[in-house]
Amino acid sequence: MTGPAVLDDGARSAVEVRLAATDRLLARAYPGPSPVRQPIHTAYVPADAFTGELAADWGRKALEAARSAGGIDALATAIGVDVAADLVEAKLAAEPIEDLRLDFEDGYGTRPDAEEDADAVRAAREVNRAVAAGSAPPFIGIRFKSLEAPTRARGLRTLDLFIGSLVESGGLPDGLVLTLPKVSTVAQVEAMVYVCERLEAAHGLAPKRLRFEVQMETPQLILGADGTVPCVQVIHAGGGRVSSLHYGTYDYSASLGIAAAYQSMEHPAADYAKSVMQVAVAGTGVHLSDGSTNILPVGDPEHAVDAWKLHARLVRRHLERGIYQGWDLHPAQLPTRYLATYAFYRDGFAAAAARLRNYVHRIESAIMDEPATAKALADFIHRGLACGALTVAEVESAVEISVEQLRTLALGRPTQPAKESHV
């Protein structure tokens, strides 16, 4: 027989008081997954090279590159994946680039101020022209120069001109993304927050309309001078404006003194940095992106196949490690971006769908999944659906729930199995 409860209202109230600060911290700093779609990659082009037709042009060039290897099916065989060519061909025709960054930093270089001013204004107008024409990628924006002392004034002026020109030429695109590179201190993120506030006030934008990615390219973000881990702090210092942390393969590797021949997304130093970043973003709703490989599948056919194999392996590698985004630098990398990504989701789909169906509909099976695992299963399937690796029909048929119910589960709600079937 159970004894009488001894925790009265006063004791329970005392616990509430003790944990009030914890409750506020968790609600503010760890709100859970972002409802915003995460693109599977970010493509970079010099800002002055952008036109409204660039995305479609990359799609055509990607298919041409694949044809040099015998076509998408032949390329899939060469890199060792089993994905129907029609899925990848459809993606390259409809949405070849999910996220595009017009680069005013390393990919653009140092130019006369008048030239960069003109390119910033033109880029904004061209972005809005592409959005109006329906030819812009779902996510698009600029990487401006860093807030380090030598480039700070130039970077801020480019950002200022770009945002102002967007407002004047049609408004901010829904998928606008700003990238702050070479961050080394929390203070730089705090300064960026201040700049965003000023721009919003000047242009009559809603508070927190401007958000930005932080590029993790310096070891000072992994271990600060005071022994802390600043990449955790920058997320919270951003006040809800930091949308993603991006790993910069080559700047970070070089800053550690790693020889150029060994700079890679899979170097142990890279894995350590990304592991720290992965812990930092957990529960915050901030996305995480891997970097790029500069080994391009161009030129000699034998080299191209080797480069495609490398790219596909690196894409699959970061997906298996729970990093769902990376960078692409050339149109010829798009075929293996989609082949490797689609193979990842299709290889795991049947098992994930069966387990999620059993969980949702309370079907007894050999695996007893908990709510957290059910959320992971739903997230996996939802990501595959978002990028085109899976279709609505096959998802709804296999799991026997709607896409909206799948999305709800992927975001972590509800946390318990449903009592009834949701067919």
Asked whether residue 50 falls in the same domain as residue 113, the answer is yes
The SS3 call for residue 212 is strand
**263 within domain boundaries:** yes
Asked whether residue 337 falls in the same domain as residue 358, the answer is no
DSSP code string of 78-130:
HHT----HHHHHHHHHH-S-SEEEEESSTTT----HHHHHHHHHHHHHHHHHH
Give pLDDT, residue 420: 34
Strands (E), 134-220: 139-143, 176-180, 212-216
Give pLDDT, residue 413: 62
Over pLDDT 90: what percentage of the chain? 93
Q: Taking a C-beta distance cutoff of 8 angstroms, is the pair 389, 346 a contact? A: yes
Residue 30 CB coordination number (10 Å): 12
**What whole-number distance in Å separates Cα of residue 365 and Cα of residue 178?**
46
Asked whether residue 390 falls in the same domain as residue 288, the answer is no
Asked whether residue 310 falls in the same domain as residue 295, the answer is yes
**214 within domain boundaries:** yes
Asked whether residue 212 falls in the same domain as residue 358, the answer is no
**25 within domain boundaries:** no
According to DSSP, the residues that pair with 216 across neighbouring strands are 247
**Domains held by the chain: number:** 2
Q: Taking a C-beta distance cutoff of 8 angstroms, is the pair 131, 173 a contact? A: yes
**What whole-number distance in Å separates Cα of residue 329 and Cα of residue 289?**
14
Asked whether residue 263 falls in the same domain as residue 233, the answer is yes
The CATH number linked to 267 is 3.20.20.60
Give pLDDT, residue 423: 26
- Residue whose structure tokens are 């729930």: 401
Mean pLDDT (the chain) is 94
**304 within domain boundaries:** yes
**256 within domain boundaries:** yes
Q: Taking a C-beta distance cutoff of 8 angstroms, is the pair 58, 91 a contact? A: no
pLDDT tens-place string over residues 105-141: 999 999 999 999 999 999 999 999 999 999 999 999 9
**28 within domain boundaries:** no
Q: Taking a C-beta distance cutoff of 8 angstroms, is the pair 332, 61 a contact? A: yes
* pTM (two decimals): 0.93
Asked whether residue 313 falls in the same domain as residue 352, the answer is no
- In the predicted model, residues of the chain with pLDDT beneath 50 are 415-423
**418 within domain boundaries:** no
Asked whether residue 57 falls in the same domain as residue 104, the answer is yes
**What whole-number distance in Å separates Cα of residue 241 and Cα of residue 260?**
34
Asked whether residue 63 falls in the same domain as residue 90, the answer is yes
**342, 357, 391: which is the final residue of a domain?**
342
Give pLDDT, residue 1: 52
Asked whether residue 327 falls in the same domain as residue 379, the answer is no
Domain interval for residue 93: 41-342
**342, 360, 377: which is the final residue of a domain?**
342
What's phi and psi for 87, nearest 5 deg? -65, -45
**What whole-number distance in Å separates Cα of residue 226 and Cα of residue 384?**
41
Asked whether residue 313 falls in the same domain as residue 355, the answer is no
**323, 342, 361: which is the final residue of a domain?**
342
Asked whether residue 362 falls in the same domain as residue 338, the answer is no
**154 within domain boundaries:** yes
Plot region of 242 (φ>0 → left; ψ -120 to 50 → alpha; else → beta): beta
